[in-house]
Amino acid sequence: MAATTEIGWADSTTNFWIGCTKVSDACRDCYAILIAANLGVGWGDDAPRHRTSEQEWRAPLRWNAMHDRGQTHMIVNRKSVPVPVWVFGNSLSDFFDNQVPPEWREEAWQVIRKTPLLRWLLLTKRTPNVLKMLPTDWDGGRNYRHVTIIASVCNQAEFDRDVPRLVALKAHGVRSIGLSIEPQLGPVSIIGCPEARELDWIIGGGESAHLMTPRKYLLAWPRLLIEQCHTFGIPYFHKQLGSFAFDGERRIRTKHPAGADPDEWPVELRVQEMSRIYDQEPPALHSLHCFSGERGDVGAGGGAADYAVSADGEPRGHRIEASAGGGLNSLVKSRGGGAKQVARQRNGGSEHAVCGIEESIHLHRPNRRGASFA
């Protein structure tokens, strides 16, 4: 369990168990294999899946309870961080792995059902398993409207194979579906697939180095996806360039080892949109009414503003202090609850932003149409 995560499209991760088997070329250098090895957990068909601690299983219940009482921040390692909303379930395994004892998965579903104020992201390379592994109390999806099923693909062949299967899940009550094309190992076009219009979200990115040499990632690939997602009205989240990116014949070298710092990307790739599936959801469905930026002080001559408003319009009194010239830029928005924090250091100053997760996160960067979202 991680109450915070460096995975840009999630606030936190929860692992009910650890372990998996490689089923795709994209699994060749999976980051989870190294993490599992450091934890003493094996990998592959012959390695038993490792069930995690009760503390891990209870963490989402605690986060949900915090939201239920209107708490927006919590202390992690002596730092105040937003209470997670977008939770990546089983980041060190596949939730729909058929090697997992079925009773574990049923228990995990019950934790998910009891945490409706979280937005669960379940990523899988085993899309055909989803229907037969839904919980016994699925009830046409009515009990799990806060769950997104994300299919992971790496090339056009996997896209063409899995997108129709993924979209078919909507007929069985899966409210929200997404696609992760990361690591992307070849060009992918979504235009030729009629079902692609039904996707609620697409994530993309290049391969990062772990135990093996990363494979080439051409920037023409995300440029195409961004353009096509815009055409179809699908939110696109560009996660990283990876460790071996090329713009034409030119190698793109970044300070971040996985190329995950948007400041190092070409401006047209700085697109990090969250799913808009919850945009029209009435605030009453979530007792998470507000969130706010943490207090920041930097530079001299700064002004101060209290700008923290709940979804029901009630001020919460959280304070943000910003320096006009000290490099701090604070942005707080609230649209129906939820939080997505982006914080990074640049030029010796602090840049801190907290945005409503229903909105695109193009913080202090132009989007592909040249508009500013800050």
Q: What is the pLDDT of residues 239-269, one digit of tens each?
A: 999 999 999 999 999 999 999 999 999 999 9
108-to-16, 87, 162 alpha-carbon distances in Å? 7, 13, 24
Q: Which two tokens stand for residue 175?
A: 């409210």
Q: Enter the pTM of the model.
A: 0.77
Looking at CATH, the fold of the domain delimited by 12-269 is given as TIM Barrel (3.20.20)
CA distance 311 to 86: 18
> What sign results for the dihedral spanned by CA atoms 71, 73, 75, 78?
negative
Q: What is the pLDDT of residues 171-211, one digit of tens each?
A: 999 999 999 999 999 999 999 999 999 999 999 999 999 98
Contacts 24+ apart (CB under 8 A), 221-224: 221/184, 221/186, 221/187, 221/188, 222/184, 222/269, 223/268, 223/269, 224/187, 224/188, 224/189
- Asked if the model's pLDDT at residue 333 lies above 80, the reply is no
CA distance 214 to 66: 40
DSSP string, 65-103: HHHHTT--EEEETTEEEEPP-EEEE-TTB-TT-TTS-HH
- Asked if the model's pLDDT at residue 161 lies above 50, the reply is yes
Q: Assess contact for 81 and 6: CB atoms under 8 A.
A: no
Q: How confident is the model at residue 2 (pLDDT cuts 50, 70, 90)?
A: confident
Least confident of 39-48, 97-106, 238-247: 39-48
Q: Residue 228: what residue type?
A: Q
Closest to 359 in 3D by CA, of 237, 269, 259, 266? 237
Least confident of 17-31, 49-63, 353-367: 353-367
CA distance 322 to 295: 9
pLDDT of residue 1: 61
- Residue 254, SS3? coil
Q: What is the DSSP letter of 133?
A: G
| Domain residue ranges in the chain | 12-269, 284-355
Closest to 86 in 3D by CA, of 306, 235, 305? 235
- Asked if the model's pLDDT at residue 227 lies above 80, the reply is yes
CA distance 329 to 187: 36
pLDDT of residue 338: 37
Q: Assess contact for 198 and 179: CB atoms under 8 A.
A: no
Cα 64 off chain centre by = 18
pLDDT of residue 122: 98
Q: What is the pLDDT of residues 56-83, one digit of tens each?
A: 999 999 999 999 999 999 999 999 999 9
Q: Which two tokens stand for residue 283?
A: 């605030």
Q: How confident is the model at residue 306 (pLDDT cuts 50, 70, 90)?
A: very low
